[in-house]
Structure 1
Amino acid sequence: MTADRTPDRVQILTPEGKVRDGAEVPDIGDERLVRIYEQMRVARHLDERATTLHRQGRMGTYPPLAGQEAAQVASTHALAPDDWISYQYREHGSVVARGLSYEYLLYWMGHEAGNEWLPERHVFPVNISIGSHLPHAAGMAWAAKLKGDDVAVACHFGDGATSEGDFHEALNFAGVFDVPAIFVCNNNQYAISVPRNRQTASATIAQKARAYGMRGVLVDGMDPLAVYEVMSEAVERAKDPAATPDHDAGRTARPTLVEAEMYRLGPHTTVDDPSVYREDAEVERWRERDPIPRLERFLRDRGLLDDEEIDALEERIAEEVAEMVDRAESYEADPTEMFEYTYAEQTPRLREQQAYFERLRERHPDETFRQDE
């Protein structure tokens, strides 16, 4: 930690997939290491298919995650199965690590049913509004503490969310009430087109933690081993702060702010053109740190992967994702559901519209109607 309280960046793997001099590989286990790699590949392939589906008019607007898989998948593996995850909308890798289902695609295809299964995996539903889920995560962690539950709450958000009041309110609350929360800022350098240096004058986002009386950690978010190590320590701190005292924060504290430094290799969403606000040379510099080939080289060097195994893995992933797409596209929704979730109590105008729609459907049961017909 330097004199200005700027945290050092935690990194274990070099961009070439080698262990840095003096760094130690965390005790993950070979099987889990390969599983993390596999799930990162699933997330990347899902991204590619979802982007194609959008361009074909078969899926709505989708936020790609390419480049951010390490922070999402590895951080989830550091959690216990009953620890909760609250995420923004780009952290598909966390969902993959908790057990991806075709139902996840339903949400992006416009079906609310795509959110209903997530709580079974201890994952909060998708949150589109920027930063509004942070206070909820802090409250969930406080409730767990009051109940005496041995769980942590991991809350993902982007660097743009740190400019929202919800960020400051949530961290202040978490610090004051010393809740078992881990706030994971996926700093991918851009909030849509606004670069990170336009979000804050602070040298890092992680150092903001000190003002809230909690630990702040800066980690290479494209290094899955470093993310796993940092997140494991944060989970231990959340559940037993005395086990990982933080003298810089001035006290033993449960919550942690993790800044995972990374890069969004693709567009903000499938309707964004990133070439308008960033240079190709910048993208290519960051692509050299791509977490997937980085971890792959590490696993090859340890004898845990070879060409044959990777080819089989790619084939299996393609088949599994294709099957999920087929199941999602065969889902038959009840069109009357569009009247159910707009208001807590239906307005007279909405009831009138629903009655008209139902009469129309009764007269023409074999036809499909658009909302404007």
Structure 2
Amino acid sequence: MEWLPSSSPVQLPDPNHPAPEPSRLLAAYRAMVVGRRFDAQATTLTKQGRLAVYPSSRGQEACQVGAALSIGAQDWLFPTYRDSVALVTRGIDPVEVLTLLRGDWHCGYDVPSTRTAPQCTPLATQTLHAVGLAHGEARKGRDTVALALIGDGATSEGDFHEALNFAAVFRAPVVFLVQNNGYAISVPLAKQSVAPSLAHKGIGYGVRSEQVDGNDAAAVLSVLDTAVAHARSGGGPFLIEAHTYRMEAHTNADDAGRYRSPDEVEQWRQRDPIDRLERQLRESGHLDDTAVEQIAAEAEEFAVQVRSRMQAEPSTDPADLFRHVYAEPTPQLTEQLAQLRAEQEAL
């Protein structure tokens, strides 16, 4: 049955999934190294009080980068709060990415121009937004695919199931990428679902599904390429479950040692996605010590620039309270803004 996922997570080489071109794998490696250094810098910024909170995605770089590299500039990305590395890989200003977590704005980047929805904190609500946009774009005859990123915990939410059903009925060009990192905060997968895999959840809705080793960057890219092509060609939605692991705590406010063992973390450390891709590229002759050192230097410079810009105090304007509430301000908001300006001028 074509809708059924593989019996085990896809790893390359695989006869049904062609390997990406070496140039794409090199681009993925570079983005993963830069992304991990950015992630580490953001974690440090929380300790310095520059960020209120930061949910690390260390260990999930293959999924994050693969998602950003699998879609085109005309496509839309619907991220969660943990997908900052995907946004950076998509080319969004890293400081604007961190604005939400700094508490300055609900979303620090321009959504329409970046074709990237605000990072979503409520679980699975962005899946409905992704389906609605994809369906609307299809009705307008536009070549647009929506890619929704979610975690394993989000598959237990009603919104996720409603999104799958609507997408299947209307054949919306949307891809759902479930980053199954083992835990919904502290709740392990075994207490969330007894399905053979989370990918199997698509079958009941008539959604083509697949599962992949989320720490095998080449496999993630290959499966995502298949899913995006399927959606773009009119085949309807596609559900992917990527088996990966969150190496750090849920956020800097979490103590992961209360619900998982050091041995478990160490086992997953041996499957580090960056190390695995580096070995593959070295073995194929597409990466050497010089290139590794150069990319590491690029990542460090990227972190230096982020740190420097984040150390600067943000410029605030009380009038921001009235911006972006409505496309056209209501008379009441206009009146309130005028009152604010008058009080400022009187100071």
User: What TM-score do the two structures reach when normalised by structure 1?
Assistant: 0.83
The answer (yes or no) to whether the contact 1:26–1:225 under 8 Å persists in 2 is: no
Q: Which residue of 1 aligns with 2:123?
A: 130
Q: Which residue of 2 aligns with 1:208?
A: 201
What code does the residue aligned with 2:122 have?
S
Q: How many residues align?
A: 342
* Preserved CA contact (<8 Å) 2:148 2:175: yes
Equivalent residue number for residue 371 of structure 1:
none
Match of 1:307 in 2: 289
| Pair 1:284–1:358, CA change in 2 (3 A) | farther
Contact 1:40 1:69 in 2 (8 A): yes
Query: Do 1:106 and 1:328's aligned partners in 2 also have CA atoms closer than 8 Å?
Result: no
* Aligned ranges 1:231-270 → 2 under 5 Å: 231-241=224-234, 253-270=235-252
The Cα of 1:315 is off from its aligned counterpart by 1.5
Residue of 72, 93, 97 corresponding to 1:80: 72
State whether residues 9 and 243 of structure 2, in contact with CA within 8 Å, keep that contact through their aligned partners in structure 1: no
User: Aligned partners of 1:43 and 1:138: how far apart in 2?
Assistant: 28
**Paired residue secondary structure (2:108):** helix
Establish whether residue 93 from structure 1 lines up as the match of residue 73 from structure 2.
Answer: no
Asked whether 1:297 is paired with 2:279, we answer yes
For residues 25-48 of structure 1, what are the alpha-carbon distances to aligned partners after superposition, in whole Å with 9 as ceiling and x for unaligned?
Answer: 835322221111010011111111
Q: Report Cα offsets for 1:171-199 as digits up to 9, x if no partner.
A: 11001111100011111110100111111
- In the aligned structure 2, how far is the partner of 1:205 from the partner of 1:123? 25
In 2, the alpha carbon distance for the partners of 1:136 and 1:173 equals 11
User: Which residue in 2 is equivalent to 1:47?
Assistant: 39
Q: How many angstroms does 1:119 deviate by? A: 3.4
Q: 150, 154, 172: which is aligned to 1:161?
A: 154
C-alpha distance after superposition, 1:3-38 (max 9, x if no partner):
xx663234335xxxxxx5x65883532222111101
- Structure 1: give runs of 5+ residues left out of the alignment: 14-19, 242-252, 364-373
After superposition, the Cα gap between the structure-2 partners of 1:113 and 1:185, relative to the gap in structure 1 and judged at 3 Å, is: closer
Give the direction of change, closer, same or farther, for the CA distance of 1:93–1:9 in structure 2 (3 Å limit): farther
Could you tell me which residue of structure 1 aligns to residue 103 of structure 2? 110
| Structure 2 counterpart of 1:160, one-letter code | G
Paired amino acid for 2:159: D
Contact 1:71-1:260 at 8 Å conserved across structures = yes
2:171 equivalent to 1:189: no
Supply the AA of the counterpart residue of 2:289.
D
Q: 1:25 to 1:7 in 2, by over 3 A?
A: closer
Q: What's the counterpart of residue 20 of structure 2?
A: 28
Q: Secondary structure at the match of 1:197?
A: helix
- Are positions 1:229 and 2:188 aligned together? no
Query: Distance in 2 between the 1:362 and 1:284 partners?
Result: 62
Deviation at 1:290, TM superposition (A): 0.9
RMSD (Å) for aligned C-alpha atoms = 2.8
Amino acid at match of 1:298: Q
One-letter amino acid matched to 1:266 = E
Please state if 1:119 is matched with 2:112.
Answer: yes
State which structure, 1 or 2, has the greater radius of gyration over its C-alpha atoms.
1
Aligned-partner Cα distance in 1 for 2:280–2:346: 62
User: Cα gap change, 1:327/1:114 in structure 2, threshold over 3 Å: closer, same or farther?
Assistant: farther
Cα deviation, 1:270-309, whole Å, max 9, x if unaligned, reads 1111001111111111111110000011111122222222
Give 1:86 shift.
0.5
Q: TM-score, normalised by structure 2?
A: 0.89
Q: Which residue of 2 is the match for residue 277 of structure 1?
A: 259
Task: Name structure 2 gaps, 5 residues minimum.
Answer: none
What's the counterpart of residue 16 of structure 1? none
The one-character-per-residue Cα deviations of 1:69-122 (angstroms, maximum 9, x if unpaired) are: 101112322212211110111112321221141322333222228533343222
The 10-residue stretch of structure 1 (171-180 or 322-331) with the greater mean CA deviation from structure 2? 322-331
Q: Distance in 2 between matches of 1:73 and 1:32?
A: 11
Amino acid at match of 2:6: P
SS in 2 for 1:270: coil
SS at match of 2:177: strand
CA separation of 1:227 and 1:221: change in aligned 2, threshold 3 A: same
- Residue 269 of structure 2 corresponds to 287
* CA gap 1:56/1:331 in 2 versus in 1, 3 angstroms: closer
